Amino acid sequence: MLRFVFILFTTALTYLSANGQDSGTLLKTDAIKIDRLDSLDNAVYDLLHSNKLIMVGEMHGTNEPAGFVTGLTSLFSANGDSLQVGFEIPSELMLSFLKNRTDSSVYQSEFFSVASADGRASTGWASAILLLNRDPKVSIFFYDINSDESKTSDNRDSLIYIKIKKQIIQHPTWTTITLGGNIHNMRSFYKQKHTAGVYLSNDTVLNISDKFCSLNHYYQSGTMLNNIGKGLELREVENLNSNFSKFSGYDNYLYLFPVKQANIYNGAFFTRTVTAAKLPNQK
């Protein structure tokens, strides 16, 4: 996993030097400043609203991606759009919420009431579901695989893809936003295997390749509460030498890569600081 994170950062940096342009110039020209995650500027809407699908990838156990998805959804809703937002959670673990759709039923659902294994079952994700559930223009769905759907992880991405595709077909005029791990939303193969992002990009029925924006969260430094092979643990992280971090124009921003260069992700959601998301029973 650590090697994968390094690859993501070093690969992304090649986008910033596309066509021989200085990375600082590209970011200064095209990056959109984010002052508050819960109150995004309409410039973000202008940049993204033509997409039918926006997938936000994260390192689990962090607050900022969930906050960005919440802010992005509120922005689209304020502009009159209907949306559906998907979380990488098995629906079988959210039965209490799916039945009652109340605030208390979020935390009563099995996903958030049982100890988290990878950091997803955090107050960051729970708070996002609570806020989005209050917006009548927003529908929430869950797209990770259930226990009776697969015995191995080999076809997990294909099943995730099928679930997201089904939602898009059910609501073809809506904007679909998803939040999940940053491998699933890659628009390129990972370890020679299809990702959900690859499946969705190539689906001829959906035909959304040019209306699909895949974003990944990048950061300079901070903390995460997740599992990189040693069990759930609080870790300090830093990426001080990336061009994203070196750009001092904004602390937080959204940047789309040049179209011809965006073969893994379409863009970067950058925050100067990343913060560990607490577990529901954590003070």
Give Cβ neighbours of residue 258 (< 8 Å, ≥ 6 apart). 15, 18, 19
Q: What is the pLDDT of residues 228-244, one digit of tens each?
A: 999 999 999 998 788 99
**CATH code assigned at 160:** 3.40.50.11550
pLDDT for 150 beyond 80: no
pLDDT of residue 240: 75
Please state the length of the chain.
283
Residue 283, domain member (yes or no): no
**pLDDT tens digits for 47-59?**
999 999 999 999 9
DSSP state of 93: G
CA 227 and chain centroid, separation: 17
Residue 22: what pLDDT? 66
Q: Comparing C-alpha atoms, which of 202, 195, 188 is closest to residue 156?
A: 195
**pLDDT per residue over 151-166, tens digit each?**
666 799 999 999 999 9
Among 23-27, 130-134, 171-175, 264-268, the range scoring the smallest mean pLDDT is 23-27
Going by C-alpha positions, the residue among 33, 5, 6 that lies closest to residue 247 is: 33
> What's the rounded Cα separation, in Å, for the pair 181 and 124?
14
Q: What domain range is 256 assigned to?
A: 2-274
**Residue 282: inside a domain:** no
In the chain, the N- to C-terminal Cα span, in Å, equals: 28
Q: How many domains does the chain have?
A: 1
Question: Structure tokens of 113?
Answer: 């009431």
The string of pLDDT tens digits covering residues 98-147 is 999 999 999 999 999 998 899 999 999 999 999 999 999 999 999 999 99
